[in-house]
Chain A
Amino acid sequence: LAKTTQPISMDSYEGQEVNITCSHNNIATNDYITWYQQFPSQGPRFIIQGYKTKVTNEVASLFIPADRKSSTLSLPRVSLSDTAVYYCLVGDNSGNTPLVFGKGTRLSVIA
């Protein structure tokens, strides 16, 4: 099971781009990288997933270098509503081992 390491917290001003990096040195060949977002008093929700290079959707971008030992979630021009905890998950593709959400990164967006 690939263990992930991400910063405990980050602060940003509105309108800035925020990059949250997750380290996963032991990622396996078939593992995918998935990010979830959790707003206060809500359950987590899926925001983006990737295997390599770059993935972009309407919410965020995910950058994965060639060695796949880390990944960076990029949130463009954040607003107050982006204040949340962001979890990086890397899964055992066999599905035999439960995923670990970890403590995530608490992003606080300041006006």
Chain B
Amino acid sequence: NAGVTQTPKFQVLKTGQSMTLQCAQDMNHEYMSWYRQDPGMGLRLIHYSVGAGITDQGEVPNGYNVSRSTTEDFPLRLLSAAPSQTSVYFCASSYGTPHASYNEQFFGPGTRLTVL
């Protein structure tokens, strides 16, 4: 099992550019989530999905879009990148809802994004 994989590892964008951060999991988990982590801060939930075709907003959804066409993949789209979106992005998956602490979340290695 590869677990949760993310691509790319690093990305530099100019303000206004768009891009998609890829996330895939091979554990057949129904739930997938995207978090961002800023320096000295904890993780903040951007969007999450409870299954193929179903997504919902987290704590900081503005500026990001998601879709879930398959169980395995959960891409995160930045439509028009802004410097405030400079951060490290983590994708996670879990068997049960990520909102319940008893459901272990498996995290990917992260994507470090810089927006100039």
Q: A-side interface residues toward B, CB under 8 Å?
A: 31-34, 36, 41-46, 49, 87, 89-104
Contacts and interface: CB of A to CB of B under 8 A. Distances in A.
A33 B108 CA distance: 22
Given A43-B107, A43-B108, A101-B42, 17 more contacts: A32-B102, A33-B101, A34-B101, A42-B109, A44-B43, A44-B90, A91-B101, A92-B100, A93-B100, A93-B102, A95-B99, A96-B99, A97-B99, A99-B45, A99-B100, A101-B35, A103-B41
State the majority secondary structure of interface residues on A. Answer: loop
A101 B99 CA distance: 11
Interface residues of B, number: 27
Interface of B: 4, 35, 40-45, 48, 58-59, 90, 92, 96-102, 104-110
A90 B99 CA distance: 10
Contacts of A90: 101
25 contacts: A31-B101, A32-B101, A32-B102, A33-B101, A34-B101, A41-B110, A42-B107, A43-B107, A43-B109, A43-B110, A44-B107, A45-B107, A87-B42, A87-B43, A89-B101, A91-B102, A92-B99, A94-B99, A95-B100, A96-B99, A98-B45, A98-B98, A99-B99, A101-B42, A103-B41
